[in-house]
Structure 1
Amino acid sequence: MYSPAKPSPAKSLLSALRKYLLIPRLVRLSRSAPKDRPLAWDRYWAGIRATGVGGEVLWDAGTDDEFLGYKDVLLRYLDPELPVVDVGCGHGSFTRALAGIFPEAVGVDVSEHAVRRAAAESGETGNVRFEVRDMTAPGAEKGFDGGANVFIRGVLHVLEPADQAALVENLRLLAGKRGTVFLAETNFQGNPVDYVTHLGATMQGIPAPLERAIRGLPMPGHFGPGERQQVLPAEAWELLEDGEVAIETNPATGVDGRSRVPGYYAVLRPRG
């Protein structure tokens, strides 16, 4: 069987040096990101002028390929009679896809500008609505007294531990006795410099959607089985299914594979 040749020590050293030289530039860019999380996200979405293919949103591939990879799992575990809440909905692309398989899809986001854009891009879709909600705030689960399914993609890996814990408690209350939580998160095993170089950052330039995210948002971490076990422990959550997944991002480099980030998905229900 053919296996690609390993890079020579000289090439490996050169690659490591190039990554090292990127660090000062990344530090300068990231300094402009507001420390206040809701403010950071609202400023980010306020500056977005285009979404979808060729747009400005880093994690928006502009296709439904990723969602179609989730669809069978959603249909297998989530109650089709309950509404679904898309936590951290952004401009609502996944919310609109969810509306095709659930009676109502509600997109919630901490950013008012994101919610406005999501509503504007949803047109006359009758079973979709959007609300400004910080799902880490006390009482954020209110309004779904009969329980709801939850879809959460790419949120937990950008939160601090205290906000993760607050969000998970609200998800537990939101799901109630009948709801199920589906999560998908990036799980890139490497440091932040490795991550941004995977997405196309070089000494010669940084793709615009990536640079916009670095300038305005906190540097992300990763979220896999170990993090899930800590944040959603087995004594409180029943794990129904989990596994690896590819998170699609804006294909800004034109290099095959660069737009896909290793990810992790899990399906869970609150115990009791």
Structure 2
Amino acid sequence: MDVSEEYRDAWEGYWRETTDAPGEAIWDSDPSLTAEPHTELLLPYADSALPIVDLGCGNGTQTRYLAGRFPKAVGVDISHAAIEHARRADATGVAEFRQLSLVDGPAVRELHRRLGDCHVYMRAVIHQSRPQDRAAVAHAIAEFVGTRGRAFVVELVSASRDVLRRAAEGPDGPPPKLRRVFAHGLKPADASDEEVPALLAEAGLDIFTSGETALAQTEYLADGTRIELPARWFVVGRR
């Protein structure tokens, strides 16, 4: 199974129209607001000697941070254009990047065989995936962690739709970075609050701990307030 050509093209189009400038993608926040605090939540449950895979890495900002916290960091993304961004940004080669669809089971299993059990970092991927692909994404997490790894998964909750709606209804319409997301047919906050933990459980993953947070964006409301999208995080693995 693989994603539809339309879905893949949407992401390719988005990343082809994105420059290498840090923060141009609305979710490309500094790691101090994202991967850094998320890693602190993961590490009490994780063997720091294992590698980590950043699923849906985009231009690799978070992957490069993770490479400094784990012995090896691999960023994967469905978009070739995103991986090209990530490789250009990683001038010193601290991380590894490769194109990969999370619903391509054989490709996921091949990477797991190469890396062995590893940790997973996944920020806001399920909510952007097509409904029919979400179970496969959860199973990809389970494949990578195996028996020894742990995953940090953070996904938007329904309350984020209100924040996005408020941003879109500003005096000038959606701010530019959000407008580009909508223009490519990408659908943020498309999964229900109950769906994410259910998918993780169905994939055979146990939830060790979870909590509420907000994902800082690189775009601002009309009043100058940073857009922060309500989310829930999970640390999962096999007991």
* Range class of TM-score, shorter chain: 0.7 to 0.9
1:147 to 113, 117, 134: 117
Aligned to 2:25: 57
Q: Percent identity?
A: 28
Alpha-carbon contact 1:185-1:222 (below 8 Å) kept: no
User: In structure 1, how many angstroms separate the alpha carbons of the residues matched to 2:136 and 2:202?
Assistant: 17
**CA distance 1:36–1:230, shift in 2 (3 Å):** same
1:187 to 157, 170, 174: 157
Aligned to 2:129: 159
Alpha-carbon contact 2:60-2:75 (below 8 Å) kept: yes
Alpha-carbon contact 1:106-1:130 (below 8 Å) kept: yes
1:260 to 218, 228, 231: 228
Aligned to 2:7: 37
Post-superposition, which runs of at least 4 consecutive aligned residues in structure 1 deviate over 4 A? 222-225
Alpha-carbon contact 1:237-1:270 (below 8 Å) kept: yes
Aligned to 1:87: 55
Matched, 1:102 2:70: yes
Aligned to 2:98: 131
2:43 to 75, 83, 91: 75
**CA distance 1:51–1:259, shift in 2 (3 Å):** farther
Aligned to 1:23: none
Alpha-carbon contact 1:110-1:134 (below 8 Å) kept: yes
Aligned to 1:7: none
CA RMSD of aligned residues (A): 2.3
User: In structure 2, how many angstroms separate the alpha carbons of the residues matched to 1:225 and 1:204?
Assistant: 30
For residues 34-92 of structure 1, what are the alpha-carbon distances to aligned partners after superposition, in whole Å with 9 as ceiling and x for unaligned? 9711111011000001432xx43111234522223212112212221111000000000
Aligned to 2:80: 112
Secondary structure, aligned partner of 1:44: helix
Structure ID, larger Rg? 1
- What code does the residue aligned with 1:131 have? R
- The CA deviation at 1:190 is 6.3
Q: Name whichever structure is richer in strand by fraction.
A: 2
- The CA deviation at 1:195 is 4.0
**CA distance 1:224–1:70, shift in 2 (3 Å):** farther
User: In structure 2, how many angstroms separate the alpha carbons of the residues matched to 1:154 and 1:215?
Assistant: 19
Alpha-carbon contact 2:160-2:230 (below 8 Å) kept: no
Q: TM-score, normalised by structure 1?
A: 0.78
Point out the more displaced range, 232-241 or 113-122.
232-241
Alpha-carbon contact 2:124-2:154 (below 8 Å) kept: yes
Secondary structure, aligned partner of 1:36: helix
Aligned to 1:20: none
- What code does the residue aligned with 1:149 have? H
- What code does the residue aligned with 1:46 have? R
User: In structure 2, how many angstroms separate the alpha carbons of the residues matched to 1:205 and 1:143?
Assistant: 42
Q: What are the ranges of 5 or more consecutive residues in structure 1 without an aligned counterpart? A: 1-33
**How many residues matched?**
233
Secondary structure, aligned partner of 2:195: helix
User: In structure 1, how many angstroms separate the alpha carbons of the residues matched to 2:30 and 2:36?
Assistant: 13
Q: TM-score, normalised by structure 2?
A: 0.88
**CA distance 1:264–1:41, shift in 2 (3 Å):** same
Aligned to 1:22: none
- The CA deviation at 1:149 is 0.8
